[in-house]
Amino acid sequence: MNNMGINLDEKNLKKQIIDCMKSLHSRGLMTGVGGNASARQMGEEKAWITPSGLYKPDLNPSDLVNIDLEGKVIEGMFKPSIEWYFHTAIYKKRTDVNAILHTHSPFTMGLALANVKLRPITFEAATILADVPILPFKYPGTEELGNQVGDTILGKRAMILQNHGVITVGFDLIEALSTVEILEEAAIMTFVANIFGPPEEIPSDQIELIKKLYKI
């Protein structure tokens, strides 16, 4: 993964989606048929999204599907991910978002399933993960789920679909991918610490300072 922070041309944007899928799969953050991704060039009313049903780590750029924000296929030979509803709902509401990832990160989900909240155990957890809402279970791939995701993720970098998975958003794919990684890292640290006792947290006066500095 490279080209951080650059508004990529279409060819490199598609390659970055493919690289993201391979990276997430190789680290066990999604299965070959679970998870999906999309990205758009800044400000566009359309996005490239992973196809439905295909084995994600083996995807080629030509397998990706270009859809408009109503889910209509503009280009591509496969059906878009069944989760296109929430991808387009997010793009419609968040002009600051150009990339969306959906994973089934096992430690993040394990803690959410047990209703264990992530605490401010690291600087990243205190800032990026200060507020990760959990949406109660809704059947995947529905317009209802899409609309609720669009509303819930306003002003957030990540959210959890209970009994299902994680959604992260970013200015670009690198930012969305980093948030998946930070979430899972904090979840693993929390899991390990809880074996021996409650995890040590950043002192509350320091949290207040962080919140002021980062306007959380």
Nearer to Zn ion, 76 or 141 (CB): 141
Nearest residue to Zn ion, scored by beta-carbon proximity = 165
Shortest reach from residue 212's CB to Zn ion, in Å: 36
Nearer to Zn ion, 139 or 196 (CB): 139
What are the start-end ranges of the H helices in 48-172? 84-93, 106-113, 123-127, 143-152
Q: Which of residues 163-182 bind Zn ion (CB under 5 A)?
A: 165
Shortest reach from residue 87's CB to Zn ion, in Å: 12
Shortest reach from residue 35's CB to Zn ion, in Å: 6
Nearer to Zn ion, 150 or 165 (CB): 165
Q: Which of residues 137-166 bind Zn ion (CB under 5 A)?
A: 165
Nearer to Zn ion, 110 or 130 (CB): 110
Sort strands 158-161 and 134-135 into parallel, antiparallel or unpaired.
parallel
Shortest reach from residue 166's CB to Zn ion, in Å: 9
CB 156 within 8 A of CB 167: no
Q: Give the chain's radius of gyration (CA, Å).
A: 17
What type of residue sits at position 72? K
**How far apart are the C-alpha atoms of 83 and 210, rounded to whole Å?**
35
Nearer to Zn ion, 13 or 101 (CB): 101
**How far apart are the C-alpha atoms of 179 and 171, rounded to whole Å?**
11
**How far apart are the C-alpha atoms of 93 and 203, rounded to whole Å?**
35
Say whether 200 is catalytic: no
Using CB under 5 A as the binding criterion, the count of chain residues that bind Zn ion stands at 1
Full DSSP string of 125-152: HHHTTS---EEPP--TT-HHHHHHHHHH
Shortest reach from residue 86's CB to Zn ion, in Å: 10
Q: Show the tokens assigned to 65.
A: 């599907």
Check 70, 83, 143, 208 and give the catalytic one.
83
- Catalytic residue numbers, as ranges: 83
Residues that bind Zn ion (CB under 5 A): 165
